[in-house]
Amino acid sequence: MPSDILSFTDLKKYFVIGKKGLVQRTPITVKAVDGVSFSIKDGETFGLVGESGSGKSTVAYTTIGMYRPTSGEIRFRDRDLFTEKRRPQALRKEIQIVFQDPGSSLNPRRTIRQLLELPLRLHRPGVNTLQETMRLLDMVELTADYLPRYPQALSGGEKQMVCIAQALATEPNLIILDEPTSALDVSIQGKIINLLIRLQKEFNLSYLFITHDLSLMRNVASRVAIMYLGKICEVADAVEFFRTPFHPYTQMLLSSIPVISEEEEALKPRKIVSRGEIPSPVNIPSGCSFHLRCPHRKDICSTLDPVMVEVQPGHLVRCHLFGQPEQPPADRRATGAEAVLEEETARG
């Protein structure tokens, strides 16, 4: 059985965006990621799905070191990524990211050759950079004619292929794909997905695939996790996830997928109509963060935040509809992430 290549344990990332009050200035906090736990196995594609503002990109940016976690742990092959202030060079080359907008992630003043040579010089000194850049372009189905060109001379799909080649230059084991096709035309999206699948098989890559497109996850992901307002709602194998979704929010998302045939419509869960709108991440409701929109809410949902329970082997759900272990009353003292946040605010 494949081992875990990346694991998250109670990961929290809070941002202080201001202060309120005239006398006692209370910090205004956005809990972008609030207690996320899951793991990615070696060689698999793990799909992280959620609406805009759910916190999925914050998980990605924290993993690559753009942010430091407020609390919690991220481990890569059993090594804590944040035990040292500066991540070791050998560890940084193992995890790469492909961003959503390829146009903004490529330096417009550098040629494609210069863009591909930079990670080679940093992480693989001694290689023949010209030969290797040509090999990288061939891997993403581009020719050597692209080497002297600048990014602005390329189409959106070609820019994304260069970004993928850039990520492959360090010979990583894990690539984070932050909505890699959402900024592209439909005609090129399939080509990029097929390219990523081929490269994964060829180099035994692991993917953390972040998207809001559930239809895409059905064909790409090995396992799927759903995020809502900074927390994981449900985690399951992709086949099981689409066959028997348990969480009301997951059912709502799946029932809203557009289909073109009656057969596909029959496979969708019963239509669930959500109430209200998504709460502000600055003012997340108490209890279950989805309870204001949930058609199955109970009294406990507004007071007690549910924890993950394993409903079936490998299928985890965070919902009061599926049982809840007894929890002690919350301590009013700031602990964990809140304590770290208070210290950062006091220093600032």
pLDDT tens digit string along 216-265?
A: 898 899 999 999 999 999 999 999 999 999 999 999 888 877 666 666 56
Determine the pLDDT at residue 17.
Answer: 85
Residue 115: pLDDT above 80?
yes
Work out the widest C-alpha separation in the chain, in whole angstroms.
Answer: 66
Q: What angle (nearest 5°) sits at the alpha carbon of residue 155, between those of residues 152 and 160?
A: 95
Determine the pLDDT at residue 263.
Answer: 63
Lowest-pLDDT range, 24-28, 75-79, 142-146, 219-223?
A: 24-28
- What are the C-alpha distances in Å from 321 to residues 183, 233, 234? 37, 12, 13
**pLDDT tens per residue across span 38-92:** 999 999 999 999 988 899 999 999 999 999 999 999 999 989 999 877 777 778 8
Lowest-pLDDT range, 197-201, 292-296, 320-324?
A: 320-324
Residue 23: pLDDT above 70?
no
Instruction: Report which DSSP code applies to 314.
Output: T
Q: Where are the beta strands (DSSP E) in 99-205?
A: 174-178
**How many C-beta atoms lie closer than 10 Å to residue 257's C-beta?**
16
**Spatial distance between the Cα atoms of 47 and 233, rounded to a whole number of angstroms:** 13
Q: Taking a C-beta distance cutoff of 8 angstroms, is the pair 71, 340 a contact?
A: yes
pTM: 0.87
What kind and span of H or E run contains 310? strand 309-312
Q: Residue 268: CB partners within 8 Å, gap ≥ 6? A: 254, 255, 257, 259
Q: What angle (nearest 5°) sits at the alpha carbon of residue 179, between those of residues 253 and 208?
A: 90
**Spatial distance between the Cα atoms of 204 and 41, rounded to a whole number of angstroms:** 11
**Spatial distance between the Cα atoms of 58 and 12, rounded to a whole number of angstroms:** 10
**Spatial distance between the Cα atoms of 152 and 73, rounded to a whole number of angstroms:** 39
Q: What angle (nearest 5°) sits at the alpha carbon of residue 37, between those of residues 222 and 221?
A: 10
Lowest-pLDDT range, 9-23, 77-91, 148-162, 251-265?
A: 251-265
Length of the chain: 348
Q: Residue 21: CB partners within 8 Å, gap ≥ 6? A: none
**How many C-beta atoms lie closer than 10 Å to residue 339's C-beta?**
13
Nearest in space to 345 (alpha carbons), one of 81, 70, 68, 84: 70
Strands lying side by side in the sheet with 4-20: 26-41, 4-20, 71-76, 79-80
CATH 3.40.50.300 fits 4-94+172-326, yes or no: yes
**pLDDT tens per residue across span 166-192:** 999 999 999 999 999 988 888 899 999
- Whose tokens are 């990211």? That residue is 97
Determine the pLDDT at residue 328.
Answer: 41
Residue 193: pLDDT above 60?
yes
Residue 273: pLDDT above 90?
no
Determine the pLDDT at residue 124.
Answer: 93
Q: Is 141 exposed, middle or buried (0-12, 13-18, 19+ CB in 10 A)?
A: middle
Q: What is the dihedral of CA 122, 128, 130, 133, to 10 degrees?
A: -60
272 vs 140 pLDDT, higher one: 140
